């Protein structure tokens, strides 16, 4: 029986960018809510809701980094690593509910647009461009080293683009007094959030059901390992996500008859190295020979 429990080293100095990003964006959310209520801007309030959920996402990502280091117990043999996936699922559900509320309010305001100060909307959105731009820059150097960091970088960058749209909308409202533009902008923000959230919902739900992670190809794994010298086949393979950063695999490895113990150990090391390249850090392989391998119809009980 082969057990590979090596884990990827945590990205260094990631806590500080997350903490700074959370603090800056939380302050901006409070500013948007206060000003949005004062000038009666639904687009500012909807963007505040979007940014608040992004702040929650940053906080959850930071929490996920901490949880991936949690120690296993007798009752939780992988620690709390799976919670990072469950948190992502919860975050998307909350986000979808907020989109529904904002969308409903935007629909009402399309029928009865309310006056608002376009200049104030533009100035607040301009502040958002700088805050989101600075926050995104904090993650720029590390964005290719971890999926959570890359996700944070892209979210903050997209928030800066949305803020740019709000600046344009505020200017349009100021010069034209087309107050329905505010409802239009909030609707567009909802659609952007919905598009990104839908993919996140599918992904988090898929991983919560122990589905194969998107970057893993079972056929590629079976072919790669099956082509190794001394290996006959790999079957009854299961791959699932332990967390948003770590994947696990179980399978039955069929080796040729009369292989020495040294050769089997070499095969194990090679498989471990190849699986690590494919982002599978936990592997359990049951070793079988051609003559004693379980039949396909009984594999589930082996």
C-alpha to C-alpha distance for 4 and 291, rounded to whole angstroms: 26
Predicted pLDDT of residue 295? 56
Within this chain, do residues 118 and 54 fall inside the same structural domain, yes or no? yes
For the chain, what is the domain count?
2
Helices (H), the chain: 15-39, 42-67, 83-111, 118-140, 147-176, 180-208, 218-226, 261-277
Give the torsion sign (CA, 111, 117, 119, 121). Answer: negative
Cα-based distances in Å from 194 to 103, 147, 191, 197, 292: 11, 21, 5, 5, 52
Domain boundary among 208, 237, 255: 208
Query: Does residue 291 form part of some domain?
Result: yes
Q: 252 in a domain, yes or no?
A: yes
Same domain, 266 and 199: no
Question: Would you tell me how many other CB atoms lie within 10 Å of the CB of residue 71?
Answer: 7
Say whether both 202 and 55 belong to one domain. Answer: yes
Q: Please check whether residues 182 and 239 belong to one and the same domain.
A: no
Domain that holds residue 251: 218-301
| In a shared domain, residues 195 and 292 | no
Q: Do 179 and 107 belong to one domain?
A: yes
Domain at 281, CATH number: 3.30.70.1350
Are 251 and 158 in a shared domain? no
pLDDT (tens, 9 = 90+) of the chain, 302 residues, equals 444 444 444 444 567 888 898 999 999 999 999 998 888 887 788 778 878 877 877 887 787 777 767 787 888 888 888 877 787 777 777 777 777 777 777 777 777 777 778 888 889 989 989 998 998 888 887 766 665 677 677 778 777 877 888 888 889 888 998 888 878 887 887 787 778 778 778 888 888 899 998 888 888 898 888 888 888 888 889 999 888 778 999 988 888 888 888 888 888 889 988 998 888 988 888 888 877 666 555 555 44
231 in the same domain as 197 = no
Mark which of 145, 176, 208 sits at the end of a domain.
Answer: 208
pTM across the whole model: 0.68
Check which CATH number belongs to the domain holding 32 and give it: 1.20.1510.10
Q: Is residue 4 part of a domain?
A: no
Is 278 in the same domain as 171?
no
How far apart CA 91 and CA 204 sit, in angstroms, is: 10
Whether the Cβ atoms of residue 181 and residue 115 lie closer than 8 Å to each other: no
> Do both 148 and 78 map to the same domain?
yes
Tell whether 1 is covered by a domain: no
Residue 274 lies in a domain: yes
Q: Is 2 contained in some domain? A: no
What is the Cα Rg of the chain in Å? 25
Domain presence at residue 3: no
pLDDT value of residue 6 = 42
Is residue 170 within 8 Å of residue 119, measured between CB atoms? yes
What local confidence, expressed as pLDDT, does residue 131 receive? 92
> In this structure, is residue 262 part of a structural domain?
yes
Residues 96, 115, single domain; the answer is yes
Structure tokens at 17: 């960018």
* Same domain assignment for residues 264 and 150: no
């Amino acid at each position: 029986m082969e057990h590979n429990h090596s884990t990827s080293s945590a990205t260094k100095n990631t806590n500080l960018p997350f903490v700074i990003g959370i603090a800056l964006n939380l302050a901006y959310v409070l500013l948007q809510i206060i000003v949005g209520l004062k000038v009666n801007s639904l687009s500012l309030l909807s963007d505040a809701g979007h940014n608040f959920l992004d702040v929650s996402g940053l906080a959850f990502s930071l929490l996920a980094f901490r949880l991936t280091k949690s120690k296993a117990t007798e009752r939780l043999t992988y620690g709390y690593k799976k919670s990072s996936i469950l948190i992502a699922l919860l975050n998307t559900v909350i986000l979808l509910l907020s989109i529904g509320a904002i969308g409903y309010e935007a629909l009402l305001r399309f029928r009865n647009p309310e006056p608002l100060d376009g200049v104030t909307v533009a100035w607040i959105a301009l502040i958002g461009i700088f805050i989101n731009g600075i926050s995104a820059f904090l993650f720029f150097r590390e964005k290719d080293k971890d999926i959570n960091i890359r996700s944070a970088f892209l979210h903050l960058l997209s928030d800066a683009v949305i803020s740019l749209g709000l600046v344009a909308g505020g200017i349009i409202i100021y010069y034209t007094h087309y107050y329905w533009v505010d409802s239009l902008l909030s609707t567009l923000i909802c659609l952007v959030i919905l598009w990104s959230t839908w993919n996140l919902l599918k992904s988090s739900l898929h991983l919560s059901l122990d589905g194969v992670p998107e970057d893993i190809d079972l056929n590629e794994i079976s072919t790669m390992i099956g082509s190794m010298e001394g290996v006959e086949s790999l079957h009854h393979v299961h791959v699932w996500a332990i967390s948003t950063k770590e994947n696990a695999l179980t399978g039955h490895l069929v080796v040729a008859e009369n292989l020495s113990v040294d050769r089997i150990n070499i095969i194990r090391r090679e498989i471990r190295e190849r699986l690590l390249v494919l982002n599978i850090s936990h592997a359990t392989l049951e070793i079988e020979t051609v003559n004693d391998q379980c039949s396909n119809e009984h594999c589930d009980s082996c």
